[in-house]
Amino acid sequence: MKRAKAIWPEGMPKPAIPYSPAVRAGDWLFVSGQSASDLTTGLAPEAQVPDAFPHYQNAFRNQAAYLYGRTGQIADAAELPRGQVVRVNQWYRAEMDERYERGSLTVNNKRYVQEKKKFFGDYSPPSTGIGVRNLIVEGAKVEADFTARFASEGERPVPVSAPGLPKPASGYAEGVRLGHWVFLSGDLASDWKGNWGENGYEGELHSLAPEARSSGLYWGDEPVAKQTDYILGRLSKVAEAAGTRLGLAVKAYVYLADPADYVAFEDVWAAWFPDPFEAPARILVPNVEIGAKGCRVEIGMDLLMPEASSSRSAVRGGWMPKSKEPPAMRADDLVFFSGLMATGPEGLAKDAQNAPGLPYFDCPGRKQMAFVLEKAGKIADAAGVEIDQTVKATLYFTDLRYLAGAMQAWEAAFSGLCKPAITIVEINRELWVPGCVVMADLVLYDPRKGEPMARIGMLTPSSNTVLEPVTSKLTAELEGVTVHYSRIRVTAIKLGDDSDRQFSVDAMVEAAKLLADALVDVIVWNGTAGSWLGRDYDIELCRRIREETGIPATTSTLAFEEAYSALKARRIGLVTPYTVDVNERIVERYSLSGIGCAAHRCSGLHVNEQFANVGFEEIGSMIDQVAEAGADAVAVVCTNMNAASLAAAYEEKHGIPVLDSVSVTAWQALRLAAVDASSLANRWGGIFQLK
């Protein structure tokens, strides 16, 4: 499985928060929420309006210009054309009254929109704009995140518009189609005229389309119901204009100004999507300001085209929402989660609460986020993915004072180098369940369809001529597995500092970083130096590689340890091309790990390139000798010794495992990449039968 990669523009400061500015995941780019922060002190000086001249500049314009300047840096670092953005979410700091339900507009985003148009030019991607109570940077007026999709052969997003529908006042696209995906803007129950200047003006100004209006004259009149039905009808027409239908929606983004409208909204939603497992995954956010007077709800969607419908499937298991959506929806190479809070059958989960008598012994933000991530992990298990495959998250807090604690749990869950892109905002009041302080909206990347099953990165000794052709031949039998190599200068094997210096950890890590550029799933040092240098060398090497790249790592020596343990082999027969003193050092190192040696044989060589010249007859003779000495297994320790093709035959001859270095290393790499390699056992040795 190809892994995602964090995008960090050169020179960009790294704030004390576990996130990536952007994440490249296959053909997707997810950009974290961007504001006018300098990422070190707060609001950037260039984005501020001077106190001495408060009326000569516009704060929204200054901040938007800075925000889009940084977004451009991220796009350039990712080599992304700006016209490939398929969704922009804007979060405006609104001055809502705490009792806000609908109506009053407190945001003037005109100059933000002007700067946005400068950035995108003639192209206007699908957009959503929502008013929230607070952003994570003091003084910030707007935060925006972006989703983009790379396309082959210069394909660009195609704007989609439904004939006969009123068009958005600010000019953004109703939707775009790119490949087998369709992205629809957040839509409102507005005709972009409202009742201003109408004949028969009924009193209160509003922006509602005539078909979405309610008189309020009778019991049972639920304005949000008419608005929701109107919006879903509009979205359906735009989807049809794109060549798809709402039944192929995979994610819905819903914002309600007043949580009291939920039941009426949900009744209409259920009429459009009667089966929760056929409905899209959904994030439903309460207590926000909607950007048109009188509007109570906004809805946006991501959909698939019919030709990709086979990649759409609901995730069943892990957790079932009380509301009418699946826990998650798989679509192509993404898994969209529905909104998650720290809830259980009783409301706020007991495990997410402090003991009533010990309210100060833990942070609610940390406990609730840990619970949310545990719940997300169960859904991920049901989907057959790992939670650390999260590439984008939007976190909605009731109070940003809970953020620091929540980030403790977040950092523990995402300790690798590629942390998710993240957007964090504070809504106006409570979430759906009393006591819940955070709600998470997650997207996971799982390229099971149309991508390689696994990419394996291997660090190889520079003079080795065996392991690459053998490994490539071996893995060629596994569909979708590719192996990628990076070389380390190694020319001779003997005891002493001069030889040991060939295996500098720093040099290994630099070569590993080159493999990481290929988004490999695992990095392997395909060399046996740890057999005589000691296992601590390999453990430190793997730690450094994972720390620097965020990618799991192993070595040939550690792979042998795993094999001995799985086979319960306590006495091995050792075969190498090395000199006797190197063999004796290996035997000594093995004994420290509780592995005895029944017998050992070697060819007496120390020039690495010559190891490949040891013939099959000599290797076979040495295997016979150590096997007959009472070994539990034979270990051919050298990845430049051509023994892989002999293993199966000599296992049959002696009735014990014969472990070749190249094969054992490949076996462990495939295990770490979650690839079933059991089909290789008959030809390459029984080790491949072990899971």
Does residue 443 surpass a pLDDT of 70?
yes
Residue 319 domain flag: no
Strand partners, 303: 182, 249
Examine the pLDDT at 69 and tell me if it is beyond 60.
Answer: yes
Q: What percent of the chain has pLDDT over 70?
A: 95
Q: What is the pLDDT of residue 505?
A: 84
Q: Which residues pair with 423 in a beta bridge?
A: 394
- Pair 684, 543 in one domain: yes
pLDDT in tens, 508-542: 899 999 998 888 889 998 887 877 777 888 899 99
Average pLDDT value for residue range 647-668: 96
Last-in-domain residue among 394, 425, 450: 450
Residues 575 and 610 in one domain: yes
Judge if 439 and 482 occupy the same domain. Answer: no
Tell me what the mean pLDDT of segment 284-297 comes to.
94
What pLDDT digit, counting tens, does each position of 480-499 carry? 899 999 988 876 666 666 65
pLDDT in tens, 653-662: 999 999 999 9
Residues 541 and 635 in one domain: yes
Q: Residue ranges of the alpha helices (H) in 149-304?
A: 223-242, 262-272
Neighbours of 606 (CB within 10 A): 18
The token pair that represents 667 in the structure block: 């076996």
Q: Is the pLDDT of residue 202 over 60?
A: no
pLDDT for residue 653: 96
Supply the mean pLDDT for the chain. Answer: 91
Average pLDDT over residues 548-577: 92
Q: Are residues 517 and 641 in the same domain?
A: yes
607 and 510 together in one domain: yes
Report the distance separating Cα 380 and Cα 328, nearest Å.
9
The CATH number given to whatever domain includes residue 142 is: 3.30.1330.40
| 417 pLDDT more than 80 | no
**pLDDT tens per residue, range 570-619:** 999 999 999 999 999 999 999 998 999 999 999 999 888 899 999 999 99
360-382 pLDDT, tens per residue? 778 899 999 999 999 999 999 99
Q: What's the gap between Cα 426 and its chain centre?
A: 23
* Residue (of 480, 501, 440, 461) closest to 611 by Cα position: 461
Q: Given its phi and psi angles, is residue 683 left (phi above 0), alpha (psi -120 to 50 degrees) or beta? A: alpha
CA 22 to CA 30: how far, in whole Å? 5
Mark whether 460 and 574 lie in a shared domain: yes
In a domain, 670, yes or no: yes
Looking at the predicted structure, is the pLDDT value of residue 450 above 50?
no
Is the whole-model pTM more than 0.75? no
Q: What pLDDT is attached to residue 273?
A: 97
Nearest to 541 by CA among 532, 531, 530, 413: 530
Residues 557 and 585 in one domain: yes
Q: How confident is the model at residue 103 (pLDDT cuts 50, 70, 90)?
A: low
Using 50, 70 and 90 to split pLDDT, how confident is the model at 1? Answer: very low
Q: How many domains does the chain have?
A: 4
pLDDT of residue 493: 63
